[in-house]
Amino acid sequence: MPLFYQQHINQSTRLAIWKIEESESFFAETVPLQRDITHPHKRLQHLAGRYLLRYLFPDFPYNEILIADTRKPYLANEAFHFSISHCGDYAAAIVSRNERVGIDMEIPSEKIHRIAHKFVNEEEIKSIYDVRCTMYDTETNEKLETLLTIIWCAKETMFKWYALGNVDFKAMLRINLKNIKKVGTLDAFIRTPQQQIPLLINYNFLNSVCLTFIHTATTT
């Protein structure tokens, strides 16, 4: 069974990553395809992510999933909070009965340098070049690539957790990069005109895969 990683975060919140080695028929036996996806690999990723929801919680109601205008999947009654991510041959999901969650997963690649201007703000650029540890020597492209991947992954997770859309990744999503390592937590916040929302982002590298996730208590 290609379960790549699993974590029981607490009594109500669980996370897992699946390395996709099966055919589409394996997932289609139990997972409904709720929207038309023409690309075969993207369809396989979609099915694997949904498959993980019931793998983590066997009573997860697949057929009650709705899609918001922001394209975020959700349950109307919020019996579960959940978030899904895909990259390459991997799918990841985090599910909770009573915590709001977000997850993202990325494999570092050269293209991160080309899109960094879209999500890294001036304060974070300064922090990147203030970082002084051998793991993140910014004169080494490979190590800078790793750091930029963590930032991108973290901000995607914040975006999914926020769930309201209309997010400026540079202006609204802020991350404190002080003392960053290859595994740990990052202090972050979402800045809106009405408020500043503090968040704690968990991050880790599992082989070549960068994983970030958020789980916060809800008021419901």
Please check whether residue 93 is in contact with residue 203, taking contact to mean a CB–CB distance below 8 angstroms.
no
Query: What is the spatial distance between Cα 4 and Cα 62, in angstroms, rounded to a whole number?
Result: 22
Query: What is the spatial distance between Cα 13 and Cα 188, in angstroms, rounded to a whole number?
Result: 21
pLDDT digits over 121-166, tens only?
A: 998 888 887 664 444 455 555 678 888 999 999 999 999 999 998 9
Average pLDDT, the chain: 89
Over range 61-89, report the average pLDDT: 91
Res 182: pLDDT: 75
Q: Is residue 85's pLDDT more than 80?
A: yes
Assigned CATH class of 105-213: alpha beta
Res 31: pLDDT: 86
User: In this structure, what DSSP letter does residue 133 have?
Assistant: S
Res 106: pLDDT: 96
Q: Per-residue confidence at 71, pLDDT binned at 50, 70, 90? A: confident
Q: Per-residue confidence at 56, pLDDT binned at 50, 70, 90? A: very high
Query: What is the spatial distance between Cα 181 and Cα 147, in angstroms, rounded to a whole number?
Result: 9
Residue type, 194: Q
Res 150: pLDDT: 93
What is the SS3 assignment for 41-77?
A: HHHHHHHHHHHHHHHHCCCCCHHHEEECCCCCEEECC
Assigned CATH class of 3-104: alpha beta
Q: Considering only 40-49, 112-121, 130-139, which range has the smallest mean pLDDT?
A: 130-139
Res 129: pLDDT: 73
Q: Can you say whether the dihedral through the CA atoms of 76, 79, 83, 86 is positive or negative?
A: negative
Res 74: pLDDT: 93
Query: Strands of 3-8's sheet, edge to edge?
Result: 3-8, 13-19, 90-96, 81-87
Res 68: pLDDT: 87
Res 140: pLDDT: 54
| Fold equal for 3-104 and 105-213 | yes
Res 1: pLDDT: 59
Whole-Å CA distances, 186 to 39, 98, 136, 152, 169: 35, 22, 16, 13, 16
Task: Break the chain into its structural domains and give their ranges.
Answer: 3-104, 105-213
